[in-house]
């Protein structure tokens, strides 16, 4: 008659089903890695798109020079027109943002969210671009 310790040793030495358990664990790990790669690439793409949108909005705002520039040849940014042009660009792109004008420099900051495929929460995306009016 086997003792309890001998029965326990026999059970621990039995390796049936180990391959299935190993496969299930490795499949879960590989799926997690694939999810991280896909969501990471999506986040990078969302950052690039936000930067491109901010750059376009800042260029649109830089084109909003004052009406006096046509008359007397001076170049100056009309702040209200620049902010309206940049905000119009941002709303057409479907993102939110902030526009600031300081002298001949327009800075646009885009804020949006990236909704990942595997990760359960939205990730914030923010990008800034600056355009400067060149006077000669």
d(CA 96, CA 89): 10
Q: What is the structure's pLDDT at 1? A: 56
Q: What is the DSSP letter of 2?
A: -
Please indicate whether residue 89 or residue 11 has the higher confidence score (pLDDT). 89
* H or E element in which residue 132 lies: strand 123-132
Query: 58: how many CB neighbours lie within 10 A of its CB?
Result: 25
Q: What is the structure's pLDDT at 39? A: 92
Q: Secondary structure of 72-125 in the HEC alphabet?
A: HCCCCECHHHHHHHHHHHHHHHCCEEEEEEECCEEEEEEEEEECCCCCCCCEEE
d(CA 94, CA 49): 12
Percentage of the chain with pLDDT > 70? 88
Percentage of the chain with pLDDT > 90? 52
Instruction: Give the number of C-alpha atoms closer than 13 A to the C-alpha of residue 35, restricted to the C-beta side.
Output: 12
Q: Residues, the chain, total?
A: 136
Convert the pLDDT of each residue in 39-96 to its tens digit.
Answer: 999 999 999 999 999 999 999 888 877 655 556 666 677 788 889 999 999 999 999 9
Whether the pLDDT of residue 135 is over 70: the answer is no
Q: What average pLDDT is seen over the chain?
A: 85
Instruction: Give the predicted TM-score (pTM) of the model.
Output: 0.74
- What average pLDDT score do residues 3-16 get? 75
Residues 61-93 as b or e (16 or more Cβ within 10 Å = b): bbebbbeeeeeeeeeebbbebbbebbbebbeeb
């Amino acid at each position: 008659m086997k003792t309890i310790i001998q029965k326990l040793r026999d059970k621990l030495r039995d390796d049936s089903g180990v391959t299935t358990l190993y496969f299930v664990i490795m499949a879960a790990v590989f799926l997690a890695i694939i999810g991280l790669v896909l969501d990471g690439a999506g986040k990078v793409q969302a950052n690039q798109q936000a930067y491109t949108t901010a750059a376009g909005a800042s260029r649109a705002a830089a084109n909003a020079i004052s009406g006096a520039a046509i008359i007397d040849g001076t170049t100056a940014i009309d702040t209200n027109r620049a902010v309206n042009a940049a905000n119009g660009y941002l709303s057409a792109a479907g993102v939110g943002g902030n526009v600031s004008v300081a002298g001949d420099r327009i800075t646009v900051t885009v804020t949006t969210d990236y909704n990942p495929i595997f990760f359960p929460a939205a990730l914030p995306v923010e990008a800034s671009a600056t355009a400067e009016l060149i006077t000669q």
